[in-house]
Structure 1
């Protein structure tokens, strides 16, 4: 569970709440921030008996780095008034990659935490929602290159997820293309009667040709979007406006 009341801008010392995982991070992060103060207190106050040793500070630092990723992603999702779908994939990828690295980490405490957290992640998050992945593709700062990069990091170069991505993109394009309205124009002679069937058939052939050309233009525009240079990832843009 998480505790949104623990989100804060300043560093401070606070007590850990066993049922609130983010309070554990905030407690350790605050203590580590004041590490030098605790060290000085141990040297200057003989009544301070429970000082933290260097090895323990190193463990705390490793735990903070691990939990900090989860904390920042949770803060982003819950702290944004209108979180857009393009935020989803990149942040869930970061959490998954951090979990996998932590499982192999020499810090036994961080490793133990990651092993316990991974089943929950797999249950709720590992099966990426493809529609939300598509939202990242249409973020001009990421496009397909970023999604492919993430999949390769997580699953290897020849993973089926990349194939699924391109198949879904193609399917969505064809679906929306089929919904583009076409118009049948009836040509009439000066007297107001319909022109002969032979001429009408030829005009229908022309209409079909125009529809094919229109589809080609749309496909070219879609390809052009993917081939254009990506925007700088540091640029802050409003995806809904874009």
Structure 2
């Protein structure tokens, strides 16, 4: 019963339906009453059994395990994240297993500093989209001011995807004059950004543009991306360093907040990303030397030496594993030859 509930996405109350209970009685007149609470416990036990089975399967995996994450947005604009483990089993079959699927809160750490400017743009778009009458009136404003490419349209951001803020700002900036006309035509429209907010919105859009391009590059699915991460993350670091001395105080504050978050992860993952670059025959250590020297002119050589040491350790580990497999195969072949010889006439 628990498997039926899981597989067909049935409510727990399904087991208490009158016809279902009649069917159970027909199958077994001595069946005990099956309640929704029992169903909840049974589904929970199935989950725990499957979880333990997956742990054992991962522990027996002869290969390394790769973790990937994917963000998903529901129609309610709530965000979720899925963590998946990928590994090759002993039969050389690629396995992909979901480890976790949970709701995530909006992660706009650095963008909180510019929330006022962004919020005004968001409210303006929402106001226009809330009714058909407002959309028609806004279309007339676009036509009146002229010179606006309305093929793009107004786009709202998604709270759990910070890069969608760039898409929203880029779309709303094209309609500045139309919103100015809407203020004169509709006295209820009070969320139009001021001239100062429009200018700051443009600064934020231009600041986010390269981050948007880099993010889209990471999300590519028709080409390998592992060798792209190091260079693109290095570009992000350079952009943050350039903007941390920005004249605009709000943009500067936003940059510093993002930089703190960025440095938290850069120090942990730069080595493995560097190794991937070195394995790219077009780049090798030349790119690593250049990027590290630009980022840290004093201690860059030490960082490069760490990458080299880690690479040697990784190579030795794979070399040992291959040697063990070769030895095992050779021993098995020798044993088979001896068995065949003993049965020879």
Which TM-score bucket, shorter chain as reference? 0.5 to 0.7
Would the aligned equivalents of 1:3 and 1:23 in 2 still touch at CA under 8 Å? no
Larger proportion of strand: 2
Q: What residue in structure 2 maps to residue 47 of structure 1?
A: 185
Q: Distance in 2 between matches of 1:51 and 1:113?
A: 19
1:166 to 282, 285, 308: 308
Q: Distance in 2 between matches of 1:22 and 1:84?
A: 18
1:140 aligns with 2:281: yes
Q: Distance in 1 between matches of 2:288 and 2:228?
A: 12
Q: Distance in 2 between matches of 1:174 and 1:88?
A: 25
1:60 aligns with 2:201: yes
1:91 aligns with 2:229: no
Q: What residue in structure 2 maps to residue 228 of structure 1?
A: none
Q: What residue in structure 1 maps to residue 28 of structure 2?
A: none
Residue correspondence of structure 1 range 106-125 to structure 2 within 5 A: 106-125=247-266
Would the aligned equivalents of 1:77 and 1:83 in 2 still touch at CA under 8 Å? no
SS of the residue corresponding to residue 185 of structure 2 reads coil
* TM-score with structure 2 setting the length: 0.41
Residues matched between the structures, number: 176
Residue correspondence of structure 1 range 208-219 to structure 2 within 5 A: none
Deviation at 1:51, TM superposition (A): 6.2
Deviation at 1:81, TM superposition (A): 5.3
Q: What residue in structure 2 maps to residue 80 of structure 1?
A: 221
Q: What residue in structure 2 maps to residue 30 of structure 1?
A: 171
Tell me: higher relative CO, structure 1 or 2? Use CA pairs within 8 A at least 6 residues apart: 1
Change (3 A) 1:152 1:79: same
1:127 to 253, 262, 268: 268
SS of the residue corresponding to residue 125 of structure 1 reads helix
Please give the per-residue CA displacement for 1:24-51, whole angstroms capped at 9, x wherever unaligned.
222111123x1xx523664798437846
